[in-house]
Chains A and B, each alone.
Chain A
Amino acid sequence: MATLELDRVVKRYGSLEVIHGVDLEVPSGAFCVFVGPSGCGKSTLLRMIAGLETVSEGEIRIDGVRVNEVPAARRGLAMVFQSYALYPHMTVRQNLAFGLENLRTPKAEIARRVAEAARMLRIEELLERKPRQLSGGQRQRVAIGRAVVREPEIFLFDEPLSNLDAELRVQMRIELKALHGRLGNTMIYVTHDQVEAMTMADLIVVLSKGRIEQAGPPLELYHRPANLFVAGFLGSPKMNFLPVRPAEGGVRLEDGTLLPLPGTALGFAPLTLGIRPERLLLEGAGPGSIEGTVRLAERLGAETYLHLDTGAGALTVRTGGEAAARPGERVPVRLPGEACHLFGPDGRVIRCAPRG
Chain B
Amino acid sequence: MAALQRRIGPARFAWVFLVPNLVIFGAFTYLPIALNLVYATTGGLAVLPGERSFVGLENFASLLDCKNYLDPSSCSKDLFWRALFNTARFVALQVGFMILFALITALVLDRKIRGRGFFRGVFFYPVLLSPVVVALVWRWILQREGVLNAWLVAMGGEPVLWLMDAGWSFFWVVFVSIWAHMGFYTLILLAGLQAIPKDVYEAAEMDAASPWRVLTRITLPLLMPTMLVVIVLALIKGVQTFDEIYVLTGGGPGSATMLIVQYIYETGFAAQPRLYGLAAAASLLLAGLLMILTLLQLRLNRKSYRG
Contact = CB atoms under 8 A, between A and B. Distances in A.
Interface of A: 50-52, 71-74, 77-79, 81-83, 85-89, 98-99, 102-103, 146, 150
Contacts of A85: 197, 199-200, 202-203
A52 B209 contact: no
Interface string B201-217: 01111111110010001
A299 to B, nearest CB: 41
Given A72-B206, A88-B200, A98-B217, 14 more contacts: A50-B206, A51-B205, A52-B202, A73-B205, A74-B208, A82-B199, A83-B197, A87-B203, A87-B217, A87-B218, A88-B222, A89-B224, A99-B207, A103-B208
Nearest to B200: A85
B221 interface: yes
A72 B197 contact: no
Contact of A102 (B199, B200, B213, B222): B213
B221 A89 contact: yes
A52 B207 CA distance: 12
B213 A81 contact: no
Given A89-B222, A98-B217, A73 B208 contact: yes
Most buried by A among B205, B210, B222: B205
A67 to B, nearest CB: 14
Contact of B206 (A78, A86, A87): A78
Contacts, number: 60
29 contacts: A51-B206, A52-B202, A52-B205, A52-B206, A72-B205, A72-B206, A73-B206, A73-B207, A73-B209, A79-B202, A79-B206, A82-B199, A83-B197, A85-B197, A85-B203, A86-B200, A86-B203, A87-B203, A87-B204, A88-B222, A89-B221, A89-B224, A98-B204, A98-B207, A98-B209, A99-B206, A102-B213, A146-B203, A146-B207
Given A89-B222, A102-B213, A81 B207 contact: no
Contacts of B206: 50-52, 72-73, 77-79, 99
Measured as residues with beta carbon below 8 angstroms from the partner, the interface class of chain B is 10 to 19
Given A73-B208, A98-B217, A102-B209, A81 B222 contact: no
Contacts of A82: 199
A99 B217 CA distance: 12
B279 to A, nearest CB: 46
Interface of B: 197, 199-200, 202-210, 213, 217-218, 221-222, 224
| Chain B interface, >50% SS class | helix
B199 A83 contact: yes
Contact of B199 (A51, A74, A81, A99): A81
B208 A102 contact: yes
B163 to A, nearest CB: 46
B199 to A, nearest CB: 4
A83 B197 CA distance: 10
Contacts of B213: 102
Most buried by A among B203, B209, B210, B221: B203
Contact of B210 (A86, A89, A102): A102
Contacts of B197: 83, 85
Contacts of B202: 52, 79, 81, 85
A99 B208 contact: yes
Contacts of B218: 87
B197 to A, nearest CB: 7
Contacts of A89: 221-222, 224
Contacts of A150: 207
B156 to A, nearest CB: 50
Nearest to A89: B221
Contacts of B205: 51-52, 71-73
B210 to A, nearest CB: 7
A85 B208 CA distance: 15
A50 B205 CA distance: 10
Contacts of A78: 206
A106 B280 CA distance: 64
B217 to A, nearest CB: 7
Contacts of A51: 205-206
